[in-house]
Structure 1
Amino acid sequence: MTTTSRPPVAEAPPSADPATGGRRRAFGPAQVAAALPGALRKLDPRIMYRNPVMFVVEVGAALTTAMAVAEPFFGGPEASGGSPIPAGFTWAIAGCLWLTVVFANLAESVAEGRGRAQADSLRRTRTSTAANLVVGYDPEADPSAEDTGTRPVSSADLSPGDVVAVSAGEPVPGDGDIVWGIASVDESAITGESAPVVRESGGDRSAVTGGTRVLSDRIVVRITSRPGETFVDRMIALVEGAERQKTPNEIALNILLASLSVVFVVVALTLHPIASYAGAPVSVPVLVALLVCLIPTTIGALLSAIGIAGMDRLVQHNVLAMSGRAVEAAGDVTTLLLDKTGTITHGNRRASEFVPLEGVRKPDLVSSAALASLADPTPEGTSVVELARAEGVVVDAASPGEVVPFTAQTRMSGVDLPDGTLIRKGAGSAVLAWVRETGPVGPVVRTELEDRVGRISDSGGTPLVVAVRRPSGHTAVLGVIHLKDVVKEGIAERFAQLREMGIRTVMVTGDNPLTAKAIAAEAGVDDFLAEATPEQKLALIRREQQGGGLVAMTGDGTNDAPALAQADVGVAMNTGTSAAKEAGNMVDLDSDPTKLIDVVRIGKQLLITRGALTTFSVANDIAKYFAVIPAMFAGVFPGLGALNVMGLASPASAIMSAIVFNAVIIVVLIPLALRGVRYRPLRAPQILSRNLLVYGLGGVAAPFAGIKLIDLAVSLLPGF
């Protein structure tokens, strides 16, 4: 099969950074400029109320702004907590609070904007196109003729069940399954990969996506989606974050933050009468500043951005998550179900060894096996020739003789050479029956052959017996070719890393238990399920879930759909059937089953990032307490001056410095929230210790240094 043209390399999205080879920067001026209008629009209280912590800050900013506007007309308090208030203090507090809210919205807006470039690229693929609707489609008829009855229609008018014909150079008008034909398809607009892929009817690679382009041949497609409800439409909505739902963990954390905010609102309201009774009334702007410093504004500002960025990291890996819940669940996965073929092994059996019988020269076996495989187009046949060449035996491919193809009846293939020599290779019983046609097989040969075949089978391999019939009529068994599933390089090490993360790996295969056991041992998986049926896969997942575990699996076929739907993380291959993609909660656009391991890493990175920044947020409040509390009451209670461990210049400077730091730290942490904390395969106690050591102590130390530096600058202003 040849392609009519090389598909164009997908453009790098507008947000790509050429200096980094097309990779998007986590946070830069271009992203800020693009996200700022969205951040300002999010100041709408109808949007802000969804983030309780930042909604409290916005209400405080609005209240402080109103008081700043009213001060020239009604006057303001001359002192707060026994200390004078500089001119413009209320305006400065209001400005810092508004900046805090805008910076929080900016984090979320930047996170949302990171997927817009890909969404715009996808949107260009869903334009209405002309389609060739097959009139009166008959599944029994031959659709190969170019003059099959069709009529042109708009892709917008297609409905599920309609059948269309798509020829080379034409776009696929909608999502569907190929019911006839095989073709090379350019999917670069969706996957970003320039290499064409093969799609064909009757298998797990029958699904095609609207907007992709057929490069060669002709296919007949049954449409499975309605206009506006295609896979591309769902991708656009998801990468833009329009339908991103909060995960249970995120909801729980929001409830906790909202509860803390309510508690500290009550504390701030209670402080005013207490301070007035003590003879040191506290102004409302100072109380608002105290409240903002008390509530966990840092994590409240970054929480949404962390979740959106987690989904975006999957998009960068060409994995589309249907919900944030799926990303979070990936971080908590305890069991991974992996298909053997194509995931753990290379997908095709390969010749690994030539085993001659006693008295047979190995070069004779190798050359005969290679001659019998020259015209064998299968990966197994090709691997036999490659192994023969690796062992120094080169056969003449110019005139291999008359090819004898493999059939299900004979279970053999081979070649008839011009000199009358016949060579056969195939299943042991079939080759022995062919040998007996010219005479009996001796007991020594039979025993020796059974021994070699048995050893190969016991090791999980597939034995192919090679025999030759000379022109004289004498037939002899030469030996055995050892075919085996070759485990991918480095896969055992990756499974070892998963084991360190506390994740159990299970290989699922249709092979017999003996072969499955051998492959599982070589790959280093924890367990295996042999001769697996859809019902057995489903039952295994349910058993794991009933034991309190979370299960992830990959699949591409219709028979995988029940298990994909049951799994907590079901990654469907983009090359798979529509049923599989509908059942899973993630779709791998590259159709690489091993990427499930990366999905788990990204999920864990999301959870670790959220935990690390929550630890930092709570810890940095400690420093702000040391700045604000002494400043409020040191004038009335001089003993509180001992708590001014930072040596801040004045109460007003201390309060202003804490509020400025509170706003600035959000901007500083946005890149970390978008990029994510670096993941290392550690157990939960180790992760907790690392968070406390790095982000706990860092969250205490950074504000002390930051507030002091800001205080040095603020103290230079008049009145501070």
Structure 2
Amino acid sequence: MTAPAPAIPATGPTPRPPDTGARRKVGAGLLDPRQLLRALPGALRKLNPVTLARNPVMFVTEIGAALTTGLAVADPSVFGWLITGWLWLTVVFANLAEAVAESRGRAQADSLRRTRRQTTARRLTGWEPGAEPSAYLEQDVAAAELRRGDLVAVAAGELVPGDGDVIEGVAAVDESAITGESAPVIRESGGDRSAVTGGTRVLSDRVVVRITQEPGESFLDRMIALVEGAGRQKTPNELALNLLLVMMTFVFLVAVVTLQPMAVFSRDFMAAAHDTAALNADGVRGIVLVSLLVCLIPTTIGGLLSAIGIAGMDRLVQRNVLAMSGRAVEAAGDVNTLLLDKTGTITYGNRQAAGLLPVGGTDTRDLARAALLASLADETPEGRSIAAYTRREHGAGDGEPGRDVARPGMTWLPFTATTRMSGADLPGGLRLRKGAASAVAAWAVQNGGTVPAGFDYAVTEVSASGGTPLAVARQDGDGPAQVLGVVHLKDVVKPGLRERFGELRRMGIRTVMITGDNPVTAKAIAEEAGVDDFLAEATPEDKLALIRKEQAGGHLVAMTGDGTNDAPALAQADVGVAMNTGTSAAKEAGNMVDLDSDPTKIIEIVEIGKQLLITRGALTAFSIANDIAKYFAILPAMFGAVYPSLRAANVMGLHSPASAILSAVVFNAVIIVVLIPLALRGVRYRPSSADALLTRNLWIYGVGGLVLPFLAIKCIDVALVQFVPGI
């Protein structure tokens, strides 16, 4: 008697469709004002000149603030102390932007640290696969003592003591502390889902793990360092921009220090400011020159540049993606070619029943009933899909025995790789088979039947459309077997991907599908999904060759992978996103790790990288543009007496030279803190061409940065006149 097979649901699983990207923007949420207060102590600590020297623009500003402090102490005046106070605020606000970005990372790092506990590991010495417990030594050691290559045993309820690969056994593992997902995942030896992370908990069974880390080099340690910002290195574009800012600062510093008409300037400036007695003090001369320097140099972008880079990595961490370097995030924004695995990325991976093709005059309902019964013992996703499809679309199965019911004389035949068929033998001599077209056709011929006309055509038609044909046959008693028809299985393309690929195409990114399928199947899937090109029957060597070819053409390439055979290509790609469920080799080779193991997330990673680049570019444009308004405020005020023609440049009609200078300095400080939320959240990004993005940002942040400061400085000037007597 055959044991009953387990029951399955009446309908197949309904995968959750991915975000289509429609009406979607990449962002990081609003800035909580309380974050500014919490980050203030960190901003004050960054006033240390040794720390601030990493930011030359703000370092010069701090030196200027220190100089004006000394001058204000030596020769006190309201004007001098106001300028001094706002110069210090300028430095603090610039530090505040970076401190807020880092505080977000520290909050995430603290939650990760709570998962890192001192655990005891059971290290195995002399262990071999299949060895009896008496043949090897099991010793309890502290997890911190483990070295790369050590073998440890982890049983249900125990924490994994370190990063490694499962080399024996299979177990359910709780990775919620790392990924945030509460559902357990399966880790097993001998496949692409063998990697385990230190600090996760085994929920069932027992596994043997080979440690792949040295102390202090665990995946969790690297995550903590990176999200805190300690492991962040400046990217090439960021270094280039930083060098430009340094050069601009140097040029303006030389220009201010080497002003020739110092005596004339000092005498005539005081004369022009005859209505402000406080400006007649000698110390104000140096304070005014420092104000000129600070308003000339690019302090706005200088104060925000580091925060923009940190926030870009933070946006990835919020989406459960760990970037091993800022360079990887930046490279994602410059990607030209995107390589995508078909299975799991473009398609769901499990082939689903999509149609029935009767042959030889068979009724469709009879074919559906036979396909259902022949599939009930098939534990594969394809078998469950056929059962669900025939029930849902053709009403098959009403009154039929289920897999959980065994009637006398009934035998279930599960699918095996040897027979390539599944089936059922029912009472009365009825025999049903379902499986590979060639295997079922051979079974029918062996049992006295023939292959009906139209069968080969149906098989060819399904294959040409990119699907997989499965045949269904029956035999009544001693009569000849009969092929009833073909079941059409197809890889189901995830909904919304065609639109997402269209967005990437508008961004100038070429998409290439990588698959092991034959060219006919690959072409059909590629056309349905809307990718630009495909590579069929791909081997690891083929992937590597394709990446090198694209890079030789000047393109930056991004790809995903999870297996050891993907490691060479992940290492070669400019952006290699490894799945957290994959092998340690894949995670070591890539420069990003997706903790959710969602291959489609690479599309979002590219969008976040592009958002980082346009945010940096937009705020740089705004910074340079808003400097123009400061020039119109401070230069006529300082040199109008020496060069009367400059007075015409006072287009804002500022009240006095003193109020003009102070208004420019106040605006210079305030605009940094106003832009902190934008630097952290990122400029709104919508997929479009580079030309369209540049034009949009120039209009919004270039023209906006030109107009807004004029209005703001004028408003500050009016307020100063009202609230600061004698200014």
The reply to whether TM is greater than 0.5 is yes
Match of residue 13 from structure 2: none
Matched, 1:126 2:132: no
Asked if 1:417 corresponds to 2:414, the answer is no
Alignment of 1:396 with 2:401, yes or no, is yes
- Structure 1 residue aligned with 2:446: 437
Tell me if the contact between 1:275 and 1:281 (Cα under 8 Å) persists in the aligned partners.
no
Encode CA deviations 1:261-301: one digit per residue, 9 max, x unaligned.
11111221233536627953681211111111111110010
Instruction: Report the Cα distance in structure 2 between the residues aligned to 1:167 and 1:582, rounded to whole angstroms.
Output: 26
> Which residue, 50, 54, 79 being the options, matches 1:50?
54
The reply on whether 1:546 has 2:549 as its aligned counterpart is no
TM-superposed deviation, 1:438: 2.6
Structure 1 CA distance for aligned equivalents of residues 29 and 482 of structure 2: 67
Secondary structure of the structure 1 residue equivalent to 2:287: helix
Aligned to 2:725: 718
Q: Identify the residue that residue 19 of structure 2 maps to in structure 1.
A: none
1:467 aligns with 2:473: yes
Partner Cα separation in structure 1 for residue 263 and residue 685 of structure 2: 47
Whichever residue aligns with residue 697 of structure 2, its letter is: N
Q: How far apart, in 2, do the equivalents of 1:433 and 1:25 lie?
A: 61
Aligned residue runs from structure 1 range 383-532, under 5 A: 383-391=385-393, 392-394=395-397, 395-397=400-402, 398-399=405-406, 401-441=410-450, 445=452, 447-532=453-538
147-156 or 354-363: bigger deviation? 147-156
What is the number of equivalent residue pairs in this alignment?
679
Q: Contact 1:272 / 1:281 at 8 angstroms: preserved in 2?
A: no
Counterpart in 1 of 2:211?
Answer: 223
Tell me the SS of whatever aligns to 2:127.
coil
- Give 1:637 deviation, angstroms: 3.8
Indicate conservation of the 8 Å contact 1:296/1:621, yes or no: yes
Is 2:449–2:481's contact at 8 Å kept on the other side of the alignment? no
1:267 — aligned with what? 255
Per-residue CA distance 1:539-574 (angstroms, 9 max, x = gap): 100110110000000000000000000000000000
* Residues 259-408 of structure 1 mapped to structure 2, 5 A cutoff: 259-271=247-259, 273=261, 276=264, 280=268, 283-391=285-393, 392-394=395-397, 395-397=400-402, 398-399=405-406, 401-408=410-417
- After superposition, residues 48-127 of structure 1 pair within 5 angstroms as 48-71=52-75, 87-127=77-117
SS of residue paired to 2:471:
strand
Residue identity opposite 1:430 in structure 2:
A
Amino acid at match of 1:104: A
Q: Which one is further off, 644-653 or 553-562?
A: 644-653
**Residue 344 of structure 1: SS of its match in structure 2?**
coil
Matched, 1:614 2:616: no
Question: Which stretch of structure 1 is more off in the superposition, 576-585 or 705-714?
Answer: 705-714
Q: Which amino acid aligns with 2:625?
A: A
Deviation of residue 399 (structure 1)? 3.2
Query: Residues 571-594 of structure 1: CA distance to partner in whole angstroms, max 9, x if unpaired?
Result: 000000000000000000000000
TM-superposition CA deviations, 1:120-171 (whole Å, max 9, x none): 111122222012222321124368x9x9852322111211122111111111
- Counterpart of 1:393, as a letter, is A
| Cα deviation digits, residues 2-21 of structure 1 (max 9, x gap) | xxxxxxxxxxxxxxxxxxxx
Question: What secondary structure is seen at the aligned counterpart in 2 of 1:673?
Answer: helix
SS in structure 1 of the partner of residue 488 of structure 2: strand
Q: Which runs of 5+ in 1 are unaligned?
A: 1-22, 73-86
C-alpha distance in structure 2 between counterparts of 1:54 and 1:124, whole Å? 35
Whether the aligned pair in 1 keeps the contact of 2:337 and 2:512 (CA below 8 Å) is yes
Distance in structure 2 (CA, Å) of the matches to 1:612 and 1:499: 23
* Aligned residue identity for 1:418: P
Q: For the structure 1 residues 263 and 275, does the alpha-carbon distance in structure 2 shift closer, same or farther, using more than 3 Å as the test?
A: farther
Q: Could you say what secondary structure the match of 1:343 adopts?
A: coil
Distance 1:436 1:479 in 2: 15
Alignment of 1:625-704 (within 5 A): 625-704=631-710
What SS does the corresponding residue of 1:151 show, helix, strand or coil? strand
Equivalent residues of 2:28, 2:315 under 8 A apart:
no
1:165 lines up with 2:153 in the alignment? yes
Letter in 2 for 1:371: L
- C-alpha distance in 2, partners of 1:247/1:421? 70
Query: Secondary structure of 1:505's match?
Result: strand
Amino acid across the alignment from 1:396: P
Matched-pair contact (CA < 8 Å) for 2:338–2:557:
yes
Deviates more, 1:247-256 or 1:692-701: 692-701
Give the gaps of 5 or more residues in structure 2.
1-26, 271-284
Shift of residue 220, structure 1, vs aligned partner:
1.4
**Residue 293 of structure 1 contacts residue 659 of structure 1 at CA under 8 Å; is this kept in 2?**
yes
SS of the residue 1:280 aligns to: helix
Q: Compute the displacement of 1:25 (Å).
A: 5.6
Deviations, residues 508-564 of structure 1 (Å, cap 9, x unaligned): 111111111111111000011111111110110011011000000000000000000
**SS at structure 1 position matched to 2:433:** strand
Higher relative contact order (CA 8 A, sep 6+): 2
Structure 1's 515 and 399: CA in aligned 2 closer, same or farther, altered over 3 A?
Answer: same
Q: Which residue of 2 aligns with 1:135?
A: 125
